Chains A and B, each alone.
Chain A
Amino acid sequence: MPSVQSLQPGDISTSQNSPHVLLPFLQSQPQNTLTRLYQRPSSCLSIFRLLGPLERQLIMNLLWLESAIPTNTMAAWVVPEGKKLYNDALTVMTGLHIIQNPTVKLALNSTFRSSLRQAITGGGNTGSFGVPADKDDKRQPNAIELLDAYALERWETILHYMVSSGQGQLPTKPSSGVLYLLQRSELMKANHGATLQITSSGFQFLLHSPHDQLWDLLLQYLHMAEERQMDLVEVLSFLFMLSTMELGREYSTDSLSQTQKVLLEDLRDYGLIWQKKSSSKRFSPTRLATTLTSLSPSLPTSNSRTGSGTNAVGVAASSAQQGFIVLETNYRVYAYTDNPLQTAVLNLFITMKYRFPNLVVGMLTRESVRKALANGISAEQIISYLSTHAHPQMRKNNPLLPVTVQDQIRLWELERNRLKSAEGYLYKDFASQADYMYVLEYAKQLDVVLWENGAKRCFFGSLEGHANVRGFIERRTGGG
């Protein structure tokens, strides 16, 4: 009998307190690499920001101490209920080699300590926060609106390319570097011949927040950089430097190393950096870059765009910031958007009904949701997408989304998991009940029985157990 089994809802990509995606990557690096990375104050500051709040407080507690303090002294500050959190925090920091040997005495890694001190007090001559370009009297530096529009355009080109690849349309192609990265990260796959097809992880990727998407891609880039023999420390410290730069300021490329200049070009394709020409001696980070280590939205907000040219993309982005989706209890979805990307993403799990210049109306139906599930999107992801992009009007509701709709989406997902398949062998036609019981007993000891039916004298065993069960039967028939 097929077993009915409810599976756990798919892994929710951004749970509340999960550590930042970059931290496991850093932990996997050798101590030598990390120590070199810690030599730059800007890297220390950015890593510090990526850590959880408790780790940050502990680092600060230790930062200005000259000598190591006994572990017990620090533990005395911890309230009993927080013991586990505290130990977890210590483990994370030990993994990053920020704290060494925490069993007896607590002290910061001396390189990390002096760099972070320098970051906070300023001074030194590492130049790790980016060398600003000299003032150019001929040209004004770029307005922030321009940078935002540029970043948005680049980023949406990538996403739009991904989302429409499944539908046979051909929008503007991102550069080959981006395409390669998308392929490497298995967000897209080359489908018989040249055309790239979005994969199920690619569909999941589309529903993440821009901040998570960006880090997902950058993490892939870092893995790739390792293979391309690029110096990881230089790549990382360049990213961290970008994250501490000021939006709307121009920086000089003179102080960059050869690796970092290559990097500059790649990041330009992703929209993290703006350059007038590829040969230009100066560059400006965009909002995507400067918010790498923060929680604030990495794509432009509405008030920064007022007064600039209101092209379709820009207006849509501002409404996205505030949320644009209204979901009703009758499964109708009203999306106040004219952004083709958002429409396309919605189209992944909604049956479109009408389209107006600023409004898209659709229905969540069994078919549309099942289509999304078949693409690898989980019910939780649909729900979280709907709730993060809920219209301000929806925010007055508690709960935010109608419970009936949420439950139905989950039920539709469970529906797909009604059947569970397993490969194996059916043992039948036993001569006697005693024979049957004897073999079944043996198979049960091996824990290979998936299904049994005593009345019909047959049972179904898994593939792994077949050799044993078969041997057992042969020995019995041979011996008997």
Chain B
Amino acid sequence: MEKASHLSVIVDLSPTQWHLSAQADNQYPLSIQTFLSQLLAFLNTHIASQHENTLAVFGALPGKSVMLYSSTDVVADDAIAPDANSYPPFKAVDSTVVQNMMYEFDAFQKSDHEPPCDLVGALTKALCYINRITHPSTTANSAAEDPSILPDPRILILSVSPDLSPSYIPIMNSIFSAQKLKVTIDICKIYGPDTVFLQQAAHLTNGSYIYLERRDALLQYLIMSFLSPPAIRKVLAVPKQDKVDFRAACFCHKNIVDIGFVCSVCLSIFCQPVPVCSTCRTKFPIKTLQRLNASRPSLNPVNSRNSLPLANLNNASPRPTPTRNLNGVS
């Protein structure tokens, strides 16, 4: 028997980005209303495919992340009026998602500064949720012991915000957890520039990253590329990126770097040679630092040298066994 599959959808709900996306001067303006109606059709399609398919929807909002819907939570019976013209589970998804989204939008604080969207929070919640449903033995009633009906989990991120470099480390950690849980992460970039980290997420978890070129055809893109479970992707190909941006962000200034310096002990990445690793407190010999600084293809070496705290340089006196050094990587 074919397996049921689980889909966790993470929706990026940044008000600023959606406002920009709806502007008429875009080639294909896409407002959040249109987006939502197409998204709901896609969610229904996923549930329609198989009776056992499970679904969870997470929202990444400015400064927080929420779960908007999960098919394992039972909806209160009276909440949804029965209707002879629609399939009850579809109705439950649609009304719950919309209701919760409206509630979150209403709760927005009107402030001048909008905090960035908590995509990482939503991703972590999705991973936790998947971990919970794929390992039901740890919960109280372990009814779904049969391995054939354990869902085949996937995460789909619908992103509109640009990269947030401070979230590099948590995103990478999430990717590693996803790899461990055998979760495929698919990315649909609906608006804004390509994001480096999400490209890597899709690449490392064998998912696909798609930049939406025709935003008026969102639903068709979603269905053709993201509806099929991994088993079907072996027959019907799904587009993958031909080139992936593998750049990392440094741990010190959270900049995305072309050439970084890696601590030889803990593999932390820095945009410039540092005398002491900020993660594992390893001290590096001053000679190596000088050599590395001299060989840097930096545009303004003076500035970067100034930014090094002098006190730290003094502490980094050569040690009797200078086996640890910073290696340059590209």
Contacts and interface: CB of A to CB of B under 8 A. Distances in A.
Interface of A: 16, 41-42, 45, 48-49, 52-54, 56-58, 60-61, 63-65, 77-79, 81-82, 85-86, 119-132, 244-246, 249, 255, 291, 293-296, 301-303, 321-322, 392, 395
Contacts of B2: 52-53, 295
Contacts of B129: none
B7 to A, nearest CB: 14
A131 B228 contact: no
A49 B85 contact: no
Given A78-B236, A79-B235, A322-B145, A49 B87 contact: no
Interface in B36-94: 41, 44-45, 48-52, 82-88, 90-91, 94
Contacts of A245: 88
A79 B224 contact: no
Interface of B: 1-2, 4, 41, 44-45, 48-52, 82-88, 90-91, 94, 141, 143, 145, 149, 219-220, 223-224, 227-229, 231-232, 234-237
Contacts of B229: 53
B48 A45 contact: yes
A120 B84 contact: no
Nearest to B2: A53
B85 A57 contact: no
A446 to B, nearest CB: 48
A441 to B, nearest CB: 54
Contacts of A295: 1-2, 4, 50-52, 149
A54 B229 CA distance: 10
A77 B237 contact: yes
Contacts of A54: 232, 235-236
A126 B236 contact: no
Given A53-B231, A77-B237, A296-B52, A120 B149 contact: no
B4 A128 contact: no
A197 B91 CA distance: 48
Contacts of A395: 145
Nearest to A17: B2
B234 A60 contact: no
Contact of A119 (B1, B84, B87, B237): B87
A296 B151 CA distance: 12
User: B-side binding surface: helix, strand, loop or mixed?
Assistant: loop
A124 B85 contact: yes
Contact of B219 (A64, A129, A244, A255): A64
A120 B41 contact: yes
Given A77-B236, A122-B94, A295-B52, A57 B88 contact: no
Contacts of B91: 122
A322 B52 CA distance: 18
A246 B88 CA distance: 7
Given A120-B90, A121-B41, A293-B51, A85 B235 contact: yes
Contacts of A291: 51
A52 B45 CA distance: 15
Contacts of B51: 49, 291, 293-296
Given A121-B41, A295-B1, 12 more contacts: A53-B49, A53-B232, A60-B223, A79-B236, A81-B235, A82-B235, A86-B235, A126-B85, A244-B88, A246-B88, A295-B2, A295-B51
Given A119-B48, A295-B1, A129 B223 contact: no
A130 B84 contact: yes
A174 to B, nearest CB: 28
Contacts of B220: 64-65
B226 to A, nearest CB: 11
B75 to A, nearest CB: 11
B86 A122 contact: yes
A64 B223 contact: yes
